[in-house]
A and B are shown apart, each in its own frame.
Chain A
Amino acid sequence: MANNKIPVTIYITPEYYRDKGHFWSRLNLVKRFHGGHSDQVILLISYKYYKPTITGRQIAHYTEMIHSFPHAAIIHAEGVDWRGHDKELIAMGIPIYPCEYTGSL
């Protein structure tokens, strides 16, 4: 049940696509924050402030992320150029919401 999960939002910024290793350093920080109760949280990846073109590399990032945080979703997805990768994410069990997260505590 995703509805009783605690939402934790990560905002994607240009640094994620520009700085090498930025994703991993951020993921490690989030793990330190919520690693102890990762089963209780739902990690929301927000594209509110940046609308990139999704590549295969980003999908690999999501695959890695789902190992640490089994409950995840993508929000503010409207305007992102998915290049067909959105289907892969849905198949991985990561729902995609065009605007806000529709679940609740």
Chain B
Amino acid sequence: MKSAIDWIEEDLTTNSSTSPVYAPTVDLEYEIFYKKLSEIAVRNIAFEEEILSHLSAIQEVNRREQAAMDIRAHVIIDRLDKIEKKISHVTNGGLKEAMQELVPVILRNVGAVQVENAKGVWTARTATISGTFAVLGGLITWLITKFL
């Protein structure tokens, strides 16, 4: 398929008398007119290809970011699965619940979720301490009910 530029360049090389639509009387005017038209055509086609290149690049960047997010999500799911398997044998309801509350803290500690600011670190530490006490409490209750 011929582009606008091809049409213009072809027409420039042919005699003006063969073109009934564009037949300027002066050759110089004819040349200036087609030169301008050719420039506009070049600019348009360059713009079109350039904008498509930008859109395609942005789409590719988004696709790569999404793929990276999917990988991170899979890592978190795998870790959760492993944690669940490790605590699945616990029969004590209170103890199990307390252990499950520790899961976000464990995930933070293994680096699945980055704790970047001081507030985040403080929250993680508080959660670790309270979670540990909850587990110990659950364990003591279980021992008392089992042996006394």
Residues of A in contact with B (beta carbons under 8 Å apart): 6-11, 13-15, 30, 33-34, 37, 40-41, 48-50, 105
Contact = CB atoms under 8 A, between A and B. Distances in A.
Nearest to A15: B43
Given A6-B57, A11-B50, A40 B64 contact: yes
Contacts of B54: 8, 30, 33-34
B45 A37 contact: no
B-side interface mostly:
helix
A48 B49 CA distance: 11
A1 to B, nearest CB: 14
Given A40-B61, A105-B60, A9 B53 contact: yes
Contacts of B67: none
Nearest to B61: A37
Interface residues of B, number: 15
B46 interface: yes
A28 B64 CA distance: 24
Contacts of B61: 6, 37, 40-41
A50 B42 contact: yes
A80 B134 CA distance: 75
B57 A13 contact: no
A40 B42 CA distance: 29
B84 to A, nearest CB: 36
B43 A13 contact: yes
Contacts of A6: 57, 60-61
Nearest to B54: A33
Contacts of B39: 14
A79 to B, nearest CB: 15
Nearest to B39: A14
B58 interface: yes
A6 B58 CA distance: 9
A105 B58 CA distance: 13
Most-contacted residue by chain B among A7, A11, A15, A41 (CB, 10 A): A11
Interface in B36-53: 39, 42-43, 45-47, 49-50, 53
